[in-house]
Amino acid sequence: MKKTIRLFVPIFVFTLCFTNYAYSEVSIYDVQIIPEHPMQNDVIEIKVLGMFSHIGPSLDESIYTPFNKQLQLDLFFTDHAGPTIPEPWTHVEEIGTLVLGNYDLTVEAYCRSSPEFDYVLKDTIYSDFTVVPEPTSILILTLGALFIRYRSKSN
């Protein structure tokens, strides 16, 4: 009986340490642009929805990098070793206003098991969206074009 207990305790401790408190998996399941159809003067936000395999990871920092029409958002998490219960998470990043055009967005989630270790890429998601002119801008441009056309015909 004592041999069984001596054998059982290390196996139990090993299982507890490496099963319940294993390195967290971070996944991204959706990226939303707010507002859904942004116009050139709108303040745009990126809303990232994801899931942890454990309770415990926290967002250390987010880095937003615009490069022409390519936008990159990197999210860095540290796992604080919680129980293995899936936990949803949300992050909203305000990116401000953008000029007219089509944009490609890449969101990447990195995770590390503790502050002593390096971050490891866990998930990447791609999205695209278009920034359109405001209706009033289109109206002013149309009225201006009609006025110029009217003036050229009257001369």
Q: What is the pLDDT of residues 12-40, one digit of tens each?
A: 444 444 444 445 678 999 999 999 999 98
Tell whether 60 is covered by a domain.
yes
Tell whether 91 is covered by a domain.
yes
Which positions of the chain have pLDDT values less than 50?
Answer: 2, 4-5, 7-9, 11-22
Give the three-state DSSP class for 9. Answer: helix
Tell whether 18 is covered by a domain.
no
Tell whether 116 is covered by a domain.
yes
Give the three-state DSSP class for 81. Answer: coil
Domain hosting residue 111, numbered range:
23-148
Tell whether 12 is covered by a domain.
no
User: Which CATH number does the domain housing residue 136 bear?
Assistant: 2.60.40
Tell whether 90 is covered by a domain.
yes
Tell whether 102 is covered by a domain.
yes
Check residue 19 and give its pLDDT: 42
Give the chain's count of helices (H) and strands (E): 2, 7
Tell whether 11 is covered by a domain.
no
Total of domains in the chain:
1
